[in-house]
Amino acid sequence: MTVSYEALDYRFTVRAPAGVAMAEVHELLAGFAVDADLAGLDEVELADPRFAPAAASALVGTINLRAIGCAAGSLLLHAGGAARDDGRVTILVGSSGSGKSTLTTELVLRGRHYLTDETLCLAADSLRITPFRKPVSLKPGSYPLFPQLRPSQGSLGALDSDRQWLVSPKSLEGGVADVPSLFVPGLLIFPTFEEGADTRAERLSPGQAAYQLGVNTSSLTSVSGRPLAVLASLARRVPAFRLIHNDLAAAADLIAELEQEAG
Cα angle 78, 169, 65 (rounded to 5 degrees) comes to 40
Q: Closest CB to another protein among 21 and 229?
A: 229
- Spell out the residues 6+ positions from residue 99 whose beta carbon is closer than 8 angstroms to its own: 92, 191, 192, 193, 245, 251
Nearest to 113 by CA among 82, 71, 77, 151: 82
Q: Closest CB to another protein among 232 and 244?
A: 232
Q: Closest CB to another protein among 210 and 243?
A: 210
Work out how close the CB of 76 gets to another protein at its nearest, in angstroms, rounded to a whole number.
15
Work out how close the CB of 240 gets to another protein at its nearest, in angstroms, rounded to a whole number.
12
Hey, what long-range contacts does 146-154 have (CB within 8 A, 24 or more apart)? 146/105, 146/109, 149/105
Which residues are at the interface with another protein (CB under 8 A)? 205-208, 210-211, 214-215, 220-221, 226-229, 231-232, 235-236
Work out how close the CB of 221 gets to another protein at its nearest, in angstroms, rounded to a whole number.
7
Work out how close the CB of 138 gets to another protein at its nearest, in angstroms, rounded to a whole number.
30
Question: 204: how many CB neighbours lie within 10 A of its CB?
Answer: 19
Work out how close the CB of 238 gets to another protein at its nearest, in angstroms, rounded to a whole number.
13
- Spell out the residues 6+ positions from residue 141 whose beta carbon is closer than 8 angstroms to its own: 102
Q: Closest CB to another protein among 240 and 258?
A: 240
Q: Closest CB to another protein among 29 and 231?
A: 231
Q: Would you give the distance in Å from CA 215 to the centre of its chain?
A: 18
